[in-house]
């Protein structure tokens, strides 16, 4: 009887290893592809047999997520591989990627900007010390020259780093900003747009850090805001504002002139409950993260729902209070999955 049980256990172990190997395998991509351990996990949206439009690519959470093929060095041999699998993210809120394959994460529980370099397969920290020290970073963006802008809600300013992470400048301060959050840089006008949550407005800075003009004030009418949180800009210079407590997205031109708005409080298609991150792809589709729904919705320019991606959970496409989102020029989608302590990565599949 003991011999039979031992053989059975060996067979089960071999079968488990074979299944795990099949589930982990996947196609190569420009960004890391995470291991998938649940055979029922959905990795494209909509599900087959519908034509897929969004595909899951992977996640960033630890050192190991961008160094899967890294050979052990002397440090690894002495200290053990657990050093390589160190948890980096605690409460990621803002995320941004640049053309050099770097993913910047503003983690509100980490003093400093976390930089995942996907090409170099390395991780670095900016703004830990010195004039550019970050206390509570919440959002991040960059310009065409490689300068990186980070909003710090505790210091009430936006810190500017050069492409190598060296401190360059700081905009705002306590006399100008009260609660800076989402931000976006427009390379055409050379302006930095910063949303101030408690001032209920968007402040527009020139390249020298001076306020050129502001957009909005508190209210429910067109062009007014109620605790706005995040920003995005499309290729034509249209500015999209997540007007969170008015449960809508408002659209302006680059000079702050109102263009359009859509959305309302509810749980139907295209409705919002706790609107957070906002992004736009190269085809003009709008991506809106909702922390209450634990998903992001993809909408057309009229605000009509095209597809919803995600649900509560920890598997690929599962979210727990997601926040910021960024869609890059290659239509890669990065979502800050706050309480799952990770960045999830997707891509839009054009027709």
Question: Do residues 143 and 98 lie in contact, with contact meaning Cβ atoms separated by under 8 Å?
Answer: no
Q: What local confidence, expressed as pLDDT, does residue 85 receive? A: 58
Q: What local confidence, expressed as pLDDT, does residue 67 receive? A: 66
The rounded percent of the chain whose pLDDT value lies above 90 is: 80
Pairing relationship of beta strands 318-319 and 275-280 according to DSSP bridges: unpaired
Pairing relationship of beta strands 157-161 and 148-152 according to DSSP bridges: antiparallel
pLDDT tens digits along 252-284: 999 999 999 999 999 999 999 999 999 999 999
Q: What local confidence, expressed as pLDDT, does residue 105 receive? A: 98
- Cβ-proximal residues to 54 (8 Å cutoff; 6+ apart), any chain: 44, 45, 298, 307, 309, 333, 346, 347, 348, 349
Pairing relationship of beta strands 318-319 and 311-312 according to DSSP bridges: parallel
Tell me how long the chain is: 351
pLDDT tens digits along 61-115: 988 887 654 444 444 444 454 444 577 899 999 999 999 999 999 999 999 999 9
pLDDT of residue 325 exceeding 60, the answer is: yes
Would you place residue 215 in the very low, low, confident or very high pLDDT band (cuts 50, 70, 90)?
A: very high
Q: What local confidence, expressed as pLDDT, does residue 9 receive? A: 43
What is the residue whose two structure tokens read 């992001």? Answer: 296
- In what order do the strands lie in the sheet containing 239-243? 230-233, 239-243, 248-252, 258-262
Query: What's the CA gap between 314 and 344, in Å, rounded?
Result: 11
Distance of CA 283 to the CA centre of its chain: 19
Pairing relationship of beta strands 54-60 and 92-97 according to DSSP bridges: unpaired
Would you place residue 186 in the very low, low, confident or very high pLDDT band (cuts 50, 70, 90)?
A: very high
Would you place residue 228 in the very low, low, confident or very high pLDDT band (cuts 50, 70, 90)?
A: very high
Q: What local confidence, expressed as pLDDT, does residue 64 receive? A: 83
Check residues 211 and 36 and name the one with the higher pLDDT.
Answer: 211
Question: Do residues 197 and 181 lie in contact, with contact meaning Cβ atoms separated by under 8 Å?
Answer: yes
pLDDT tens digits along 123-166: 999 999 999 999 999 999 999 999 999 999 999 999 999 999 99
Query: What's the CA gap between 90 and 314, in Å, rounded?
Result: 15
**Mean pLDDT score of the chain, rounded to an integer?**
87
pLDDT of residue 285 exceeding 80, the answer is: yes
Q: Report the range of poorest mean pLDDT among 26-30, 196-200, 211-215, 312-316.
A: 26-30
What would the mean pLDDT of 196-221 be, rounded to a whole number?
98
DSSP-derived secondary structure letter, 65 = G
User: In 39-129, where does DSSP find H-type helix?
Assistant: 74-79
User: How many CA atoms does the CB half-sphere of 43 hold within 13 Å?
Assistant: 18
With H, G, I as helix, E, B as strand and everything else as coil, classify residue 314. Answer: coil
Specify which residues 149 forms β-bridges with.
141, 160
The rounded percent of the chain whose pLDDT value lies above 70 is: 83
Question: Do residues 245 and 292 lie in contact, with contact meaning Cβ atoms separated by under 8 Å?
Answer: no
Q: What is the DSSP string of 160-197?
A: EE-TTS-EEEEEE-TTT-SSEEEEEEETTTTEEEEEET
Query: What's the CA gap between 205 and 210, in Å, rounded?
Result: 5
Q: What local confidence, expressed as pLDDT, does residue 183 receive? A: 98
Query: What's the CA gap between 105 and 83, in Å, rounded?
Result: 21
User: How many CA atoms does the CB half-sphere of 164 hold within 13 Å?
Assistant: 1
Residue 37 in tokens: 């351990």
User: Which pTM value belongs to this model?
Assistant: 0.85
């Amino acid at each position: 009887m003991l011999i039979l049980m031992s053989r059975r256990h060996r067979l089960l172990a071999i079968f488990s290893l074979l299944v795990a190997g099949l589930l982990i395998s996947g196609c190569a991509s420009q960004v890391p592809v995470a291991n998938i351990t649940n055979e029922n996990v959905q990795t494209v949206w909509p599900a087959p047999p519908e034509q897929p439009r969004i595909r899951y690519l992977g996640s960033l959470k630890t050192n190991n997520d961008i160094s899967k093929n890294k050979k052990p060095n002397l440090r690894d041999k002495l200290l053990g591989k657990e050093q390589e699998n160190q948890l980096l993210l605690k409460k990621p809120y803002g995320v941004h990627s640049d053309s050099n394959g770097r993913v910047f994460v503003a983690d509100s529980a980490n003093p400093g900007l976390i930089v995942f370099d996907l090409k170099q397969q390395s991780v670095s920290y900016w703004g830990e010390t010195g004039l550019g020290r970050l206390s509570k970073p919440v959002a991040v963006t960059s310009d065409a020259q490689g300068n990186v802008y980070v909003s710090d809600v505790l210091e009430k300013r936006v810190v500017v780093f050069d492409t190598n992470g060296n401190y360059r400048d700081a905009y705002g301060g306590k006399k100008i900003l009260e609660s800076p959050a989402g931000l976006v840089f427009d390379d055409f006008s050379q302006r930095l747009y910063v949303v101030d949550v408690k001032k209920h407005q968007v402040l527009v800075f020139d390249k020298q850090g001076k306020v050129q003009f502001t957009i909005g004030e508190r209210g429910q009418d067109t062009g007014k805001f109620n605790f706005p949180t995040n920003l995005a800009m499309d290729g034509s210079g249209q500015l999209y504002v997540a007007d969170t407590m008015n449960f809508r997205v408002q659209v302006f031109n680059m000079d702050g002139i109102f263009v359009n708005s859509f959305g309302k409080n509810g749980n139907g298609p295209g409705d919002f409950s706790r609107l957070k991150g906002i992004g736009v792809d190269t085809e003009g589709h709008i991506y809106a993260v909702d922390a209450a729904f634990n998903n992001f919705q993809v909408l057309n320019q009229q605000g009509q729902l095209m597809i919803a991606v995600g649900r509560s959970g920890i598997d690929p496409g599962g979210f727990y209070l997601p926040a910021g989102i960024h869609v890059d020029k290659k239509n890669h989608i990065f979502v800050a999955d706050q309480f799952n302590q990770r960045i999830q990565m997707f891509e839009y599949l054009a027709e």
